Amino acid sequence: MFESLIHLFQNDSFLLTLKIVYYSSFIFIPFFLVFILTDLWIQYKRAKYFAKQEYLLLEIKVPRDVFKSPKAMEFFLNGLSQPYGETWYTVWTNGAARPWFSLEIVSISGVIHFFIWTRKSYKNAIEANLYSQYPGIEIFVVPDYVQFIKFDPENVGLFTTEFALTKSDAYPIKTYVDYGMEKDPKEEFKVDPLTPMIEFLGSIGQGHQVWIQILVRAHVSEDKDKTTGKKVDLKWKKAAEKEIEDIIKKSKGEKDKDGKPVPGTNRMPTDGESETIKALERSISKLGYDVGIRAIYTAPKDIFDGSKIGGIIGGITHFNSGNLNGFRPKIAGGSYVYPWQDRKKKKTNFEKQDMFDAYKRRAYFYKPYKRNPFVLNTEELATIFHFPGSVSSTPTFTRIESRKGEAPANLPI
C-alpha cells in the first residue's frame, strides 16, 4: 500500500494536478464557502420561520349517509392549493416556505380517524371548504395523537416506510374516475378503491396503531428552459407532453435515413396507447401537488404483529395500475427488528427514529428531513384520501349517527 502511495506521488501527472488545485484554490474555495454558508443561512431563517408558525390538528367526523363521490374531495383540494409566498427574496430574508398540509388516515386500536394537519392561519379556510362540500360533517381541533407515543425500541415495536411512484411523475395512478365514481353512483354500485384500506385499518385490534400520512404542497414549475431561461415544469407537465409525443410518434412508424416514412410501418394507436394518452392529458389538465406518503405501524413488543406490515403496504399499492402508475415502498430500513438481530439493530433504530421524528413534525419538503416528493394531481389525491360512504361497513369507523338540521324560523324566543 505504501509503495503504491510513493509511486503515486512520483507520478508527474498527479503532481501537476496537485499544483493546479493548489494554485487555483483561491478561486474555487470562496465559491464553495459561499455555497455552504448560503445553505446554512436559509436553513437558519427557515427554522426561525417554522418556529413562529402555529399548527393544529383537525379531526373530521363523517355522517353515516355520505353519498358524495371523491369529486367533492377534489373540489376541496383545489381550494387547498397555495402556490405563492416563496420567492428568492422572501426565502432569503424571512425563510418563507410554501404552506404544506398533512392528510392523515389513522387507526388507533381499530378505531379509524380522518385528520388534517395545518397552520392555524388556514383553519377557517379549510373548514369553510369542507363544509361547502360535506354539509353534514363535524370538525374539531384535537390533541395530536403522535405525542402519546414515544420512540422506545426496547419496549415498543415500530415499522416505518415511505412510498415512491413505480413510474415517472408524468403517469397518473388509476383514479376514482376510472372506477366510475365521478357521477355519485348509488352505494350498492360503488367500487371504492379506498375500502380495502379502511377495512384493514378497522381490523388491526386493541393496542395496535397504524398511521398513514399524505403530505401535500402546491406544485410549481422549478426547472429552467435551456433556450428561453423561463421556468418550466419538466418533472410533470412537460414530461407528460413528451410521453404523449413519443406514443404518437411510435404509431406513425419508422423512418429511413432520409427521414421519410417507411411504408407499412405506420399504424393506428392501440386501445392501450389511446387510453394512456387520454389519462396523461386529463392528468396535466388539473392542479398538481408535490406529495410524500409515509406509514407507521406501532404496538407494544409483546403484541407486535409483523403480518400487519403486508396490510399497510397492500393498502397503498392497491391503487396501482399496470398500464399507468402506482406506489412502491421506498424505505424498508424501519422494518421490525427481532432480539436476535442485534448486529443491525443500531442502524435500523437510527433510520426508524429519523422517520418517526419526521412523521411527528409532518416534515418532508425542507431540510433536515427533506425528501424527494413526487407529483399527484387533485384527482389522484382525492382517490387516495376521501370520506367513504356506507359502502365501507367497518364497525369501528366512527361516524356521526344523526344529521343536524336548522332550527325552525318561527321558533318562539
Q: Picking from 30-44, 121-135, 177-191, which range would have the lowest pLDDT averaged per residue?
A: 177-191
Better pLDDT: 41 or 413: 41
What's the total number of domains in the chain?
2
Q: DSSP secondary structure string, 186-210?
A: -GGG---TTHHHHHHHTTS-TT-EE
Same-domain pairing of 188 and 267: no
pLDDT at 245 over 70: yes
Same-domain pairing of 173 and 254: no
* Residue ranges in 208-270 assigned as alpha helix (H): 237-251
Please check whether residue 42 lies inside any domain of the structure. no
Q: What is the Cα–Cα distance from 110 to 114, expressed in whole angstroms?
A: 13
Please check whether residue 86 lies inside any domain of the structure. yes
Same-domain pairing of 202 and 158: yes
Same-domain pairing of 165 and 193: yes
Please check whether residue 344 lies inside any domain of the structure. yes
Please check whether residue 102 lies inside any domain of the structure. yes
Q: What is the Cα–Cα distance from 296 to 211, expressed in whole angstroms?
A: 5
3-state secondary structure of 127: helix
Please check whether residue 413 lies inside any domain of the structure. no
Please check whether residue 60 lies inside any domain of the structure. yes
Helical packing angle, 123-133 and 71-80, nearest 10°: 160
Count the neighbouring beta carbons within 10 Å of the beta carbon of residue 224. Answer: 12
pLDDT at 359 over 90: yes
Pairing of strands 138-142, 156-165: unpaired
Q: If pLDDT is split at 50, 70 and 90, which confidence band does 69 have?
A: confident
Q: What is the dihedral of CA 357, 362, 366, 371, to 10 degrees?
A: 70
Same-domain pairing of 212 and 347: yes
Same-domain pairing of 248 and 299: no
**How far from 107 is each of 132, 246, 305, 316, 323, CA to CA, in Å?**
26, 44, 15, 15, 31
Same-domain pairing of 62 and 163: yes
The pLDDT value given to residue 88: 84
Q: If pLDDT is split at 50, 70 and 90, which confidence band does 407 have?
A: very low
Q: What is the Cα–Cα distance from 45 to 42, expressed in whole angstroms?
A: 5
Question: Would you say 173 and 193 are in contact if contact means Cβ atoms under 8 Å apart?
Answer: no
Left (φ > 0), alpha (ψ -120 to 50) or beta: where does 395 sit?
alpha
Q: What is the Cα–Cα distance from 331 to 213, expressed in whole angstroms?
A: 15
Same-domain pairing of 211 and 257: no
Please check whether residue 37 lies inside any domain of the structure. no
Q: Residue 365 corresponds to which cell in the numbers above?
A: 419538503
* Residues of the domain holding 244: 231-272
DSSP lists the bridge partners of residue 152 as none
Same-domain pairing of 157 and 300: yes
Please check whether residue 12 lies inside any domain of the structure. no
Q: Which of 282, 225, 275, 284 is nearest to 247 (CA)?
A: 275
Question: Would you say 168 and 240 are in contact if contact means Cβ atoms under 8 Å apart?
Answer: no
pLDDT at 404 over 60: no
Q: What is the Cα–Cα distance from 2 to 99, expressed in whole angstroms?
A: 56
Q: What is the Cα–Cα distance from 172 to 262, expressed in whole angstroms?
A: 33
Q: Residue 42 corresponds to which cell in the numbers above?
A: 436559509
Boundary-marking domain end, from 272, 305, 338: 272
3-state secondary structure of 351: helix
- Give the pLDDT mean for 323-342: 63
Written as one letter, the residue type at 253 is G
Same-domain pairing of 376 and 298: yes
Count the neighbouring beta carbons within 10 Å of the beta carbon of residue 43. Answer: 14
Same-domain pairing of 200 and 116: yes
Pairing of strands 288-300, 156-165: antiparallel
φ, ψ of residue 19 in degrees (nearest 5): -65, -45
Q: What is the Cα–Cα distance from 283 to 348, expressed in whole angstroms?
A: 38
- Give the pLDDT mean for 301-319: 93
Question: Would you say 217 and 290 are in contact if contact means Cβ atoms under 8 Å apart?
Answer: yes
pLDDT at 382 over 90: yes
The pLDDT value given to residue 333: 44
Q: What is the Cα–Cα distance from 8 to 13, expressed in whole angstroms?
A: 9
DSSP lists the bridge partners of residue 206 as none
What share of the chain has pLDDT > 90, as a percent?
A: 51
Rounded to two decimals, the pTM is 0.84
Task: Report the residue count for the chain.
Answer: 413
Same-domain pairing of 206 and 305: yes
Pairing of strands 100-108, 55-63: unpaired
Task: Give the pLDDT confidence of 100-148 residue by residue, as tens digits.
Answer: 999 999 999 999 999 999 999 999 999 999 999 999 899 999 999 999 9
The pLDDT value given to residue 185: 58
